Structure 1
Amino acid sequence: MISNAGALGWDVDEARVAMVDLRGPEPLDVTYGDLKRRSQAVARGLVARGVRPGERVALAAFNRADFPAVLLGTLLAGAIAAPLNVKLPAKTLSEVIAASGARLAFVETAFAGAIPAGVEVIDFDRGFEDFLDFGDFEPVAVAPDAISMQPYTSGSTGAPKGVLLTHGGQIWAAGTLVEARRLRADDRAILAAPMYHKNAIVALKTALVSGSAMIVMPRFEAGAYARAIADHGVTMLTGVPTMMRLLLDHPELPDAATRAKVRVVSMGSSPASERLLGDLASAFPNAEIHLNYGTTEGGPIMFGWYHPDGRPQPNHSIGYPIEGCEWRLEGGATADEGELWVKNPGVAKGYQNRPEAAAERFIDGWYRTGDRLRRDAEGWFYFVSRIDDMMVTGGENVFPQEVEGLLERHPAVRQAAVIAVPNETKGEVPVAFVVLRPGPAPDEAALKAYAIANGPAYAHPRRVLFVDSLPLNGANKIDKSALKELFSKETTPR
């Protein structure tokens, strides 16, 4: 039997700042002692309400200092924390909560109406303080393979699935990732990605284990993010590539002296273009740029940023396998490219009440990621594409990421996103949505000609649509489902 307490910041000097909450009119410092006391108060409150080990506790809120207190308090009580994507439509959110089997839900007032009947509601804004029961709490001992958390998949390929993560696996992941990332106690990392998403949960946990401070924004807004870097001495940026692009393009980007203090830029959840990596390197000259690859089900992160022989990480690499992570590449033309399968102590046990979906992904302790990766001669890995993102155009395999990267090398293109649309002759063809930089603007024909001249002709976008910005989903990634809807409304493939 084990306890989560020692692995999540309990041994850090209680006077150290754990978080700076930027949700209110003034920044709120939360020390490790504050976090411990409030987490224990949550655990005591849950027990007083009759929540038993193994029961689900839902969280429906944007980022706030008490989000991790509820998360940790739920773990201390031996219950299962189920953080929810609050950007889902209210009907879908309600259906997910009902399917989760949650006994109780912590919510912001705006989402209280989505909670199904029979689920007790604790409103962060109206009554949370009354729920808290302050005092010492002995963490409930749990089996290493007991379920600790149930985050959800994005739902981009169907209804969101509850991912069953274990206590032992998450303790292993938190400790392993701190070492792999070489986090320091004096780091101050900024977190604006939603805490219900695995990318933010990883950042939060590793910060707590390392004893560093997390600057917490309720949601991402480029100007506020830029100001927070300067106001709070941020040394580590976290987020997704789209957020970093918006930061670099914002007029309030901090001055050179402030940017020089940033030592790490950490991005995950989606690929970064060559142009973005170059712009980040110029803007933050003293920072290591880390491209994180991971899946909610798979550990969650399988690769670190340091080679055992000290070799420098190549541009675009997602890293080198972390010790304790087994891997294999299946179904590729060579042994060094194919779908990534992973096995490590953090791999999920499956999906809640979705045995058929679990059987497709979890096989003999291995998890099939659905992602195509390649490996170079030195052992570094690179993301190629989602298996289901690949389109077949006239018999040729076309990967949207490669077309996007090609278009973003054009000097007038700031961002590009590529989707597949049906075509009677070719089967599927690429269509691009492009955000332009200020200045002379190419037309659709010019960008098509550029793609044909600089890449394989079969992969050129058959249509190029110009947009002011690209839509984002709940994880701040480009929402390609929304782009497909936009395309179907405005045009038809040629």
Structure 2
Amino acid sequence: MSIEESLNLGCVIDSAADPERVAFIGLDAAGRATEHRFGDIDDRANAVARALLAQGHAPQERIALLAANSVDYVVSLLGILRAGLVAVPVNFKLPAPLITFVLRDSGAQLVLCDAERRAQVPEGLPALVFGTQAFDAWRAPGALAPHVSVPHVPAPEDLALLLYTSGSTGQPKGVRLSHASHRWVVRTRRAATPLAGERVLVAAPLYHMNALALVLLTMASHTTSVLLPQFNTTAYIGAIDRYHCTWLTAVPPMIAMMLRERSALAAADLSSVRVVRMGSAPISPGLLEQIRSLLPNARIINAYGTTEGGPVVFGPHPLGLPTPPLAVGFPHPQVEVRLADDAGAERDEGVLEIRSPGLMQGYHQRFDLSPFTADGFYITGDVFRRDDEGFYTFVGRRDDMFVSGGENLYPGEIEKVLERHPAVQQASIVALPDEIKGTKPVAFVVPRAGVAAVNEETLKAFSLQHLAAYQHPRRIWFTESLPLAATQKIDRAALVREALRRSSATQAAPIDMPFASDHGKP
């Protein structure tokens, strides 16, 4: 059975394909590797499904996953889906109260976790720990119960996944995703993204759509993935070198952090890389240039997607026109898109609204939120610009936009300009209160390794040459690294707190690096 034949999202592995092919090279935190074949993954997923059903779980009950990336995580995810239950991947980097909130809000009946995260499970909620005798004993009876029928055949609207947003601006929201919507995502991506013969490196967290959708795609494509437990710069570089990875997916901050590891890069052979798919955050011209220099054999894909709307939104131009370097592409033929201004009128620049078979059903138990238009388009909150050839380019998050002296400022546009300076590796813009302007832009900058340093005044002068006067950052602070949220995006809330601290300090140090301890370990 395959994803084309089954209505169950958990059936992404084609049982008619070679069961001896390696599905995953799984690495643990110490770098030890184990190989796992497709046939073994398939059997273990069925065992988990039968164990859950033998335990008495009813269709559509929630089973949570609270763990770093591992093959056990992937197997358990497939088993949950095949049993007709709903998988709830939980962001274990959230504060303890928010983890408890997600588990309670989702209605999780059981938590499958790793040993490191066991203490994060609230008291009274059943949990099973990967790799323990208890987990193996629980799973074993399921493998010996062939009378229990799997996979479950879901109804058209049955949920498969309940993915929670990061909660950086409030309580996390549960995104309701059906079997049907993400079977469409897998099938559509498989048709557009041939992965046969590739070796894919996965380091982003499986509780995030970026990595989760990719793992489902690699299994459906019957290709081998190298699975890291978490992103770490040196481990990432080492995995490319050791396993000759050909296909990378990452968010721009991950690659920017990797580029600072000059000694590790110098010792590694990265010539195997043929594709780098960038997503989840905008890419700057400076970073794009550096990736091309580091990986000259690679095609760079600037992708776009959301948890709510899925990763299938844009693609190549139907006339074969080349995609501009910073654009995310032309609308996919099965996806309707439009740009709307604050009044709802269609424009060439505005908030992206999309309608496709991959959309969520809505937010779990959040009837106060209205993420859809009256005619069924999902309102992304992301501002895009459309050019004359129909290509779309990301401008910024509407939520990130702030008004300074009556002008709308998008941090991403200012950051792209700062990152054009040869001494700048990364830049992040946040707003500070200002008595005259209301708010004013300030910048945190990570210097580029191996080039002459730049000071605040020189970089301010550079920004004034290339930006409108109202856009230039009023203060620029240098730091060794930028704080990352659990999705590997820049944690702007943490930067705002740091900017407030620095601006109110009576005497700031010449260079203060409060985020250095996070370098390479988001």
| TM-score, L = length of structure 2 | 0.90
User: Does the alignment pair 1:131 with 2:138?
Assistant: yes
Partner secondary structure for residue 418 of structure 2: helix
Partner secondary structure for residue 101 of structure 2: helix
Alignment check: 8 A CA contact 2:253 2:490 kept = yes
Q: 1:379 to 1:324 in 2, by over 3 A?
A: same
How far is the alpha carbon of 1:422 from its aligned partner? 1.6
Of 288, 294, 319, which residue of structure 2 is paired with 1:277?
288
Kindly provide the amino acid, as one letter, of the partner of residue 329 in structure 1. L
Structure 1 gaps of 5+ residues are none
How far is the alpha carbon of 1:183 from its aligned partner? 2.3
CA distance in 1, matches of 2:270, 2:432: 41
CA distance in 2, matches of 1:281, 1:107: 39
Partner secondary structure for residue 62 of structure 1: coil
Q: How does 1:285-300 map to 2 (within 5 A)?
A: 285-300=296-311
Partner secondary structure for residue 418 of structure 1: strand
Match of 1:110 in 2: 116
Kindly provide the amino acid, as one letter, of the partner of residue 108 in structure 2. A
Q: 1:401 to 1:255 in 2, by over 3 A?
A: same
User: Does the alignment pair 1:471 with 2:483?
Assistant: yes
CA distance in 2, matches of 1:9, 1:481: 43
Partner secondary structure for residue 427 of structure 2: strand
Of 16, 19, 26, which residue of structure 1 is paired with 2:24?
19
Of 71, 77, 85, which residue of structure 2 is paired with 1:79?
85
Q: How does 1:86-101 map to 2 (within 5 A)?
A: 86-101=92-107
CA distance in 1, matches of 2:14, 2:172: 31
CA distance in 1, matches of 2:456, 2:265: 35
How far is the alpha carbon of 1:261 from its aligned partner? 2.3
Q: How does 1:451-470 map to 2 (within 5 A)?
A: 451-470=463-482
Match of 1:348 in 2: 360
Q: 1:179 to 1:258 in 2, by over 3 A?
A: farther
How far is the alpha carbon of 1:94 from its aligned partner? 1.2
How far is the alpha carbon of 1:330 from its aligned partner? 0.6
Match of 1:416 in 2: 427
Alignment check: 8 A CA contact 2:432 2:500 kept = no
Q: How does 1:265-414 map to 2 (within 5 A)?
A: 265-304=276-315, 306-331=316-341, 335-357=347-369, 359-361=370-372, 363-414=374-425
How far is the alpha carbon of 1:493 from its aligned partner? 11
CA distance in 2, matches of 1:74, 1:334: 42
Match of 2:187 in 1: 175
- Structure 1 residues 420-444: Cα deviation after superposition (integer angstroms, max 9, x where no partner): 1121211111110011124432222
Kindly provide the amino acid, as one letter, of the partner of residue 469 in structure 1. S
CA distance in 2, matches of 1:2, 1:275: 44
Q: 1:468 to 1:25 in 2, by over 3 A?
A: closer
- Structure 1 residues 288-326: Cα deviation after superposition (integer angstroms, max 9, x where no partner): 10112111001343112x222222221011122222111
- Structure 1 residues 323-365: Cα deviation after superposition (integer angstroms, max 9, x where no partner): 21111111179722111111111100111111112x2446442
Alignment check: 8 A CA contact 1:421 1:493 kept = no
Match of 1:482 in 2: 494
Identity of aligned residues (%): 41
How far is the alpha carbon of 1:203 from its aligned partner? 1.1
Partner secondary structure for residue 18 of structure 2: coil
Kindly provide the amino acid, as one letter, of the partner of residue 340 in structure 2. E
> Which of 222-231 and 242-251 deviates more?
242-251
> Which of 279-288 and 456-465 deviates more?
279-288
How far is the alpha carbon of 1:414 from its aligned partner? 1.3
Kindly provide the amino acid, as one letter, of the partner of residue 423 in structure 2. A
Partner secondary structure for residue 174 of structure 2: coil
Alignment check: 8 A CA contact 1:223 1:252 kept = no
Q: 1:366 to 1:334 in 2, by over 3 A?
A: closer
Partner secondary structure for residue 363 of structure 2: coil
Match of 2:224 in 1: 213
- Structure 1 residues 40-64: Cα deviation after superposition (integer angstroms, max 9, x where no partner): 1110111111111110000000000
- Structure 1 residues 149-201: Cα deviation after superposition (integer angstroms, max 9, x where no partner): 00111112211111000110010001101222x22221101011001000111
CA distance in 1, matches of 2:263, 2:47: 40
Alignment check: 8 A CA contact 2:282 2:412 kept = yes
Alignment check: 8 A CA contact 2:414 2:471 kept = yes
CA distance in 2, matches of 1:262, 1:340: 32
CA distance in 2, matches of 1:362, 1:171: 24
Match of 1:49 in 2: 55
Of 431, 446, 452, which residue of structure 2 is paired with 1:440?
452
Structure 2 gaps of 5+ residues are 1-5, 507-522
How far is the alpha carbon of 1:73 from its aligned partner? 0.5
Match of 1:203 in 2: 214
Q: How does 1:141-152 map to 2 (within 5 A)?
A: 141-152=153-164
Structure 1 ranges of 4+ moved more than 6 A = none
- Structure 1 residues 93-139: Cα deviation after superposition (integer angstroms, max 9, x where no partner): 11211111001111122322332344210111433222212255521
Of 46, 56, 70, which residue of structure 2 is paired with 1:40?
46
CA distance in 2, matches of 1:262, 1:360: 38
CA distance in 2, matches of 1:461, 1:93: 36
CA distance in 1, matches of 2:419, 2:205: 27
Kindly provide the amino acid, as one letter, of the partner of residue 421 in structure 2. H
Alignment check: 8 A CA contact 2:13 2:222 kept = no
Alignment check: 8 A CA contact 1:229 1:254 kept = no
CA distance in 1, matches of 2:505, 2:409: 17
How far is the alpha carbon of 1:27 from its aligned partner? 1.0
Partner secondary structure for residue 283 of structure 2: coil
